[in-house]
Chain A
């Protein structure tokens, strides 16, 4: 188990910079998520750390060792792809044994390690199956077992839950988090799903156009975004004018909704039920829109109804 440090990591394809002067430091045992839209360079960054690609400039350290020019084989990294990348001609057990065989671990010892890893992802009993005989969620668990069985220094996850349906994804999120905590392995996850990033990670790195936008704890990034991009990418953001002429962001659940005359007057445009919450899209009198999220308590305002909104100045975070 090791820490990861990126120093000015840049990857150019011609004049296009897929990663531009990226610095990041992940401490031992930490779970960090690289979050960004498609094309933000997050997968490029992961492939640079995994050693599948070489940076144009900058340095990469794993466990204090400079691995910038090391091959993927030399880095001792557990890598999990969105597409699982299981070896289709091998059984589940053989897949998990593969990294052990490469490390000259064989016999009863390898067998025990592999079976333990499969137990860890709750796949014991399916050792003899072929990947094609498993569901997507099971396949991804095999990939996880294969990636951790050889006790890698770090674990890299490339949109590991992206191909799964919502319910399974949420289940696996919990399992992934538990697994990471049990093993205490330094983990870097790449995703475009901000909910996944917020729920899983110790810290989030938001990436856009190859540049770091913010590195912060999930609540910090959500409530105190470094800029407009982060504010909008991490969820719904209401932008309001501040007295000093700057703009501030306030999150929908920090906006208070009341009957007419108790704040800024607004009109309900749309009410969207989300189960536990109801989200209102409102129009203020100056035609600016505000989104409010409140717990759903049995009754809701109908479109066209007049309401009022207000917020604490402490809940408004200035952004540039």
Chain B
């Protein structure tokens, strides 16, 4: 391509670029800058100092990471066998299973989250089943605590893990597994040495996506946590809409962004090492 045609191509995407910068990037930069800039006083780090002085902020951040990690692990424990099971189905069964996994995507997240209140409540189907089977005498409280939040987030985010994992699994040629069997490998070895390593990149990418989405999750923790499970997004909501302390919110957002980027960078590094390039 010569210079003129490159410029011509730029002309076509310029409106889009402007839109991106003005509507998306500029507000983020402005938001990040809020914490560093005090009207009339110029550059300051006091909002970050404020974060360190009030341990509640860091505790919420740690809490958020922990819940996100648990929800991600729960997702893997449910999602991996589910995707593997779907791989073994016929083409018709796969379609149906895939539709069932994707279906919740089409239902509003608000509706899905409220549905969990019906399911997990003291008079809900889960508690009635537990009491009927004699496993418990009194209702187990699933709602307005970490357990409920974790269940809700795991449910909402499951497709983000299952879909890439399923796509990677159906790409694995059955003949690879047959070859491994013919070479004398027992099923357990075939799984751990051949099947699992081939699904690992998709599993890592899916899990990372779920984890990052968990970090910024707002609706589900707000409803299923009932304000009693502090997560970072809910804290931000309080700082912006109730107390108004935008500068503090900006500082927390910046830290959240940095944490996310660091996790992503670590993943990229691992991924590149694994693929051997």
Do A and B make up one complex? yes
> Chain B 235-276 against A: per-residue CB contact (8 Å), 1 yes, 0 no?
000000000000000000000000000000000000000001
A150 close to B181 (CB less than 8 A): no
A163 is an interface residue with CB less than 8 A from chain B: no
Smallest Cβ-Cβ distance to A98: which chain B residue: B183
What residue of chain B has the Cβ atom nearest to residue A77's Cβ?
A: B182
- Closest chain B residue to A88 by CB distance? B198
Contact indicator A50/B183 (Cβ below 8 Å): no
A102 in contact with B176 (CB, 8 Å)? no
Is the pair A85, B179 in contact by a Cβ cutoff of 8 Å?
yes
Number of contact residues on B: which range applies?
Answer: 10 to 19
Which chain A residues lie closer than 8 Å to B189 at the CB level? 102
A11 interfacial by beta-carbon distance below 8 Å: no
Interface size on A, residues (CB 8 A): 25
Shortest distance in angstroms between A143's beta carbon and chain B's nearest beta carbon?
8
A75 to B173, CA, bound (A): 22
Inter-chain CA distance A73–B276, complex, in Å, is: 30
Residues of B within 8 A of A85 (CB): 173, 175-176, 178-179
Q: Which residues of A contact B178 (CB under 8 A)?
A: 50, 52, 72, 79, 81, 85
Asked if A233 is at the interface of the complex by the 8 Å CB criterion, the answer is no
Measured CB to CB, the closest approach of chain B to A2, in angstroms, equals 15
Q: What is the 8 Å Cβ interface bit string for chain B, positions 174-204, against chain A (1 contact, 0 not)?
A: 0110111111111001000110011000000
B186: chain A residues within 8 A (beta carbon): 73, 102
B173 engages A98 (CB within 8 Å): no
Asked whether A102 and B184 contact (CB < 8 A) given A83-B175, A85-B173, A85-B176, the answer is yes
Pick from B181, B194, B198: contact of A73, CB below 8 A. Answer: B181
CB contacts (< 8 Å) of A78 on chain B: these are 182
CB pair B183–A52 under 8 Å, yes or no, is no
Chain B residues closer than 8 Å to A248, beta-carbon distance: none
Asked if A311 lies at the interface with its beta carbon under 8 angstroms from chain B, I say no
Q: How far is the CA of A99 from the CA of B182 in the complex (A)?
A: 9
Residues of chain B within 8 A (CB-CB) of A71 are 181
A75 to chain B, nearest CB (A): 8
A50 lies within 8 A of B197 (CB): no
State whether the Cβ of A89 lies closer than 8 Å to any Cβ in chain B.
Answer: yes
User: Is the CB–CB distance between B194 and A87 below 8 Å?
Assistant: yes
Which residues 136-155 of A have a CB within 8 angstroms of B?
146-147, 150
Q: How far is the CA of A130 from the CA of B277 in the complex (A)?
A: 11
Interface hub of B179, B197, B198 (most chain A Cβ within 10 A): B179
Q: Report A-chain residues with C-beta under 8 Å of the C-beta of B184.
A: 73, 76, 99, 102-103, 150
Docked Cα-Cα span, A146 to B176, in Å, equals 13
**Which residues from chain A contact B276 at a C-beta distance below 8 Å?**
130
Q: How far is the CA of A51 from the CA of B176 in the complex (A)?
A: 15
CA distance A87 to B198 in the complex (A): 9
In the complex, what distance in Å separates the CA atom of A72 from the CA atom of B189? 14
A contact set with B: CB distance below 8 Å? 50-52, 71-73, 75-79, 81, 83, 85, 87-89, 98-99, 102-103, 130, 146-147, 150
Pull 15 A–B residue pairs with CB atoms less than 8 Å apart, ordered by A. A52-B182, A73-B184, A75-B182, A76-B184, A77-B182, A78-B182, A79-B179, A81-B175, A81-B179, A87-B176, A98-B183, A99-B183, A102-B185, A102-B186, A130-B276
